[in-house]
Amino acid sequence: MTVLGVGVDVVRTSRFAEILKRSPTILDRISKRILHPVEHTNYQSSSQARQLQILASTWAVKEATFKSLSIGDQRRFKFAEWRRVNRLHGYEMIQTILQPQENDKPSVIKEVIREDRILVSTSHDGDYTIANALRQTTLNNVA
Ligand SMILES: CC(C)(COP(=O)(O)OP(=O)(O)OC[C@H]1O[C@@H](n2cnc3c(N)ncnc32)[C@H](O)[C@@H]1OP(=O)(O)O)[C@@H](O)C(=O)NCCC(=O)NCCS
């Protein structure tokens, strides 16, 4: 496996609590922009404290993913098109194509078949959440 890119991000969880205090409507809008529809369903059924942690983790992991991408993929990057999944080899980011809908809730069209795999790891301590992303090729002998 060849490493193609790395990314890291650190975020203050309370950043999202501060937005919630100012305006639940703005936080709601941000949640729809950051979270994949599958992640958003999980978010909606979570307690408020867990929702803030979900936003912080998801933000960090997607910023780290963004940094690990090629310039071309960075230009096309949309937070809501990516989600974290638990695989046998650890947490991985997968990309989907979404169809925007009038009710503001996009539907998932299909998973993108990529030639790279993005492994991610997160950690929390107090108010801080950190995420790392390691992008590697799934092909052999790629320089
Ligand atoms: C570029 C970006 C990732 C920087 O993140 P940030 O939270 O502002 O700043 P951070 O402290 O996490 O990161 C800064 C570091 O990122 C690195 N960096 C900057 N641009 C980068 C890029 N395009 N790719 C990879 N790494 C980058 C730099 O090394 C910089 O550190 P330095 O000042 O020591 O050189 C971010 O501003 C961005 O553009 N994200 C795009 C995703 C997006 O669209 N977000 C909103 C969607 S709702």
pLDDT at 118: 97
Instruction: Please list the helix, strand and coil fractions of the chain in percent, rounded to the nearest 5, in that order.
Output: 40, 35, 25
Residue 59 pLDDT: 98
Q: Which residue has the least CA distance to atom 20 on ligand 1?
A: 67
Domains defined for the chain, CATH in brackets? 3-137 (3.90.470.20)
Residue whose CB lies within 8 A of the most ligand 1 atoms, among 9, 31, 63, for a mutation test: 63
Residue 71 Cα: closest atom of ligand 1: 23
Percent of the chain past pLDDT 90, that is, above it, reads 83
Instruction: Give the global pTM.
Output: 0.93
C-beta neighbour count of 135 within 10 angstroms: 23
Choose one of 16, 55, 65, 66 to mutate for the ligand 1 pocket test, by most ligand atoms within 8 angstroms of C-beta: 66
Whose CA is closest to 38, among 79, 77, 80?
A: 80
User: How many angstroms does the Cα of residue 136 sit away from the middle of ligand 1?
Assistant: 20
Once rounded to an integer, what is the mean pLDDT over residues 105-132?
92
User: What pLDDT is recorded for position 107?
Assistant: 79
Over residues 20-41, mean pLDDT? 95
Ligand 1 atom at minimal distance to the Cα of residue 63: 3
Confidence of residue 106 (pLDDT cuts 50, 70, 90): confident
Q: Is the CB of 15 under 6 A from ligand 1?
A: no
Tokens representing 6 are 């790395």
